[in-house]
Amino acid sequence: MVSIIFGAEMTNLFGKFIQFLHEGIGNYALTVVVFTLIFKAVTSPLDFWQKHLMRKNKKAMKVMEPKLAQLRKEVGDNQQLYMQRQQLIYKEHGYSMLGACLPMIVTLVVFGVVFSGFTAMVKYQNETVFEDLKTEYYAVYNPIEKEKENKFIKDRFPEWNLESSDTARKEKINEIATTDRQAVDALKTEIAAAAKPGAETAVRAAYAKKRDGLPWVQNIFMPDAPWSKVVPDYGLFSGENGGFLGMGRINAKVAGLNEAEYNKIMGPIMREYGNKPNGFLILPIICLLLNLLMMKLNPQQNQQPNMNMNMMNPMGGDPEASAKQAQMSSKVSMFMMPAMMFVFALFYSGAFTLYLVVSSSFSIAFNFIYNKVYAKKDKQEEIVAANTTYVRKSELEAMRKKKEQEEKEKAEREQEAKAKKILEKTESKFKDIDKL
């Protein structure tokens, strides 16, 4: 385990962790599922933060939208003034421009990091399989070769030491070839006839034990597609050619590797699986459907373009044309991510596609729960706001009536005081008349 985690063969952090999990689990499909669940659980606070920012922006935009529309009417064609006041409105309501684009940025960064990890893991696994099969091949081939070459030399040089090194033996064979090429060629043919069948049988048996897949995927390190080979050819393995637009190339690095050597070792299993499809597009189709469903469960993403109409068309213009342009932009952006994931699922390893499927399933469950919880919370907030508004209106109405009553009572008191003064003046005049 230590050699796998810290060895020079694997330098990618995510690749190391996947290999570490595989040491304990033993099955790559299950390893990918466990890795994905762990990774999604660890990054779930980041998902929650993204959802929180999007929800906050959505609520802010709902409040700002009429203000932005009114501002557009007020400033006319003065775009600089519009932008200045627009920023003040954003600041007033806590709208974050970073929050509007952050989810897409974070998604792409995480995708790139994990993709690099799986690419390193697939590369490492293919290199390891080749090296192990090479060991199995020569474990059968070399003893037979050694025995026959020693016999060949001994027949010509009785003093030949059968315990001589491989290097000395090869040098002796080359020496004989300078004078008797035909005999050496015949020896090589004899060795191949005797050793190759057993070596190829050993390779097939070893690969059958090492092959990791799913019920419908022969090799999880190749794409789940009917046009994909179960065993990569030399071009795909080395990265020299193959793959649609270069996608899916393994780019393996094996010291001293050449096409002849690769075909000699991998030839038996390439012939055995040559006509078999590696998969039937089941994982890519599931991946596409899950990403489309995830898009539907993300109302903030669907509503964002319409809510930002004032940002997209700040100086007015034809509202209908702007609306159509916004809808078209919305559709393109909404379907871009599912389409991109589908392309990766088609041309990259089944292991990475399985990660995409499990990751999307986790995200759908997370979004569903989040939307349910916060839809209920938003409804409660709306009820509280409505009740608060009603109470406030009732309080204002009570204050208005109280003020009217106080003004009425004041007016009545003033009338009474005025009438009292008139009466006093009248009585005073009558008293003056009586005195006369």
* Residue 243: pLDDT over 60: yes
How large a percentage of the chain has pLDDT more than 90?
45
Q: For 97-226, where are the alpha helices, taking DSSP H only?
A: 97-156, 166-177, 181-210
Q: Over range 335-350, report the average pLDDT.
A: 91
Q: Over range 34-38, report the average pLDDT.
A: 96
Asked if 344 contacts 108 with a C-beta cutoff of 8 angstroms, the reply is no
Bigger pLDDT: 143 vs 408: 143
| Close Cβ partners of 24 (under 8 Å, ≥ 6 residues apart) | none
Q: Give per-residue pLDDT as tens, 142-189.
A: 999 999 999 999 999 999 998 889 999 999 999 999 999 999 999 999
Domain extent listing, the chain: 130-216+235-273
* Residue 309: pLDDT over 50: no
The rounded distance, in Å, linking the Cα atoms of 330 and 252 is 40
Bigger pLDDT: 295 vs 234: 234
Asked if 151 contacts 45 with a C-beta cutoff of 8 angstroms, the reply is no
Least confident of 24-38, 48-62, 78-92, 422-436: 422-436
CA distances 274 to 22, 134, 155, 210, 267, Å, are 28, 19, 42, 18, 10
Residue 312 has what pLDDT? Answer: 45
pLDDT category, 324, cuts 50, 70, 90? Answer: low
Residue 320 has what pLDDT? Answer: 52
The rounded distance, in Å, linking the Cα atoms of 230 and 217 is 9
Amino acid at 421: K
Q: Over range 41-58, report the average pLDDT.
A: 83
pLDDT category, 315, cuts 50, 70, 90? Answer: very low
Asked if 237 contacts 130 with a C-beta cutoff of 8 angstroms, the reply is yes
Q: Over range 76-98, report the average pLDDT.
A: 80
* Residue 7: pLDDT over 50: no
The count of other CB atoms within 10 Å of the CB of residue 203 is 25
Q: Give per-residue pLDDT as tens, 199-229.
A: 999 999 999 988 888 999 999 999 999 999 9
Residue 218 has what pLDDT? Answer: 92
Q: At what angle do helices 97-156 and 350-435 cross, to 10 degrees?
A: 170
Residue 389 has what pLDDT? Answer: 61
The rounded distance, in Å, linking the Cα atoms of 4 and 11 is 10
Separation of CA 371 from chain center: 20
Residue 248 has what pLDDT? Answer: 85
Residue 3 has what pLDDT? Answer: 37
Residue 300 has what pLDDT? Answer: 54
Q: Over range 394-414, report the average pLDDT.
A: 79
Which of 111, 127, 115 lies closest to 12 in space, CA to CA? 115
Least confident of 119-123, 133-137, 217-221, 400-404: 400-404
Bigger pLDDT: 296 vs 306: 296
End-to-end, the C-alpha distance of the chain in Å comes to 133
Least confident of 242-246, 355-359, 383-387: 383-387
DSSP state string for 41-78: HHHHHHHHHHHHHHHHHHHHHHHHHHHHHHHHHHHTT-
Q: At what angle do helices 181-210 and 97-156 cross, to 10 degrees?
A: 140
Summary mean pLDDT of the chain: 83
Q: Over range 48-77, report the average pLDDT.
A: 81
The count of other CB atoms within 10 Å of the CB of residue 218 is 20
Bigger pLDDT: 97 vs 176: 176
Q: Give per-residue pLDDT as tens, 254-279.
A: 888 899 999 999 999 999 998 899 99
Q: Give per-residue pLDDT as tens, 359-390.
A: 999 999 998 888 888 888 877 777 776 666 66
